[in-house]
Amino acid sequence: PIAINSICQKYSKLLLLIALKKIKFCLS
């Protein structure tokens, strides 16, 4: 479960970065 949890954390961070980039693109 620990390995799966770390993968989920990395994936959620990736989604967060993508969301931030989309927000910056919309604001610019």
| Torsion over CA: 8, 11, 13, 19 (sign) | negative
Q: CA–CA separation, 15 vs 1, rounded Å?
A: 21
| pTM for the structure as a whole | 0.56
Question: Mind listing the pLDDT tens digit for each residue in 6-28?
Answer: 888 899 999 999 999 998 888 87
User: In this predicted structure, what is the pLDDT of residue 26?
Assistant: 84
User: In this predicted structure, what is the pLDDT of residue 27?
Assistant: 83
**Number of structural domains in the chain:** 1
* Radius of gyration of the chain from its Cα atoms, rounded to whole angstroms: 12
Using the predicted structure, report yes or no on whether residue 1 has a pLDDT greater than 70: no
- Label residue 2 by pLDDT band (50, 70, 90): confident
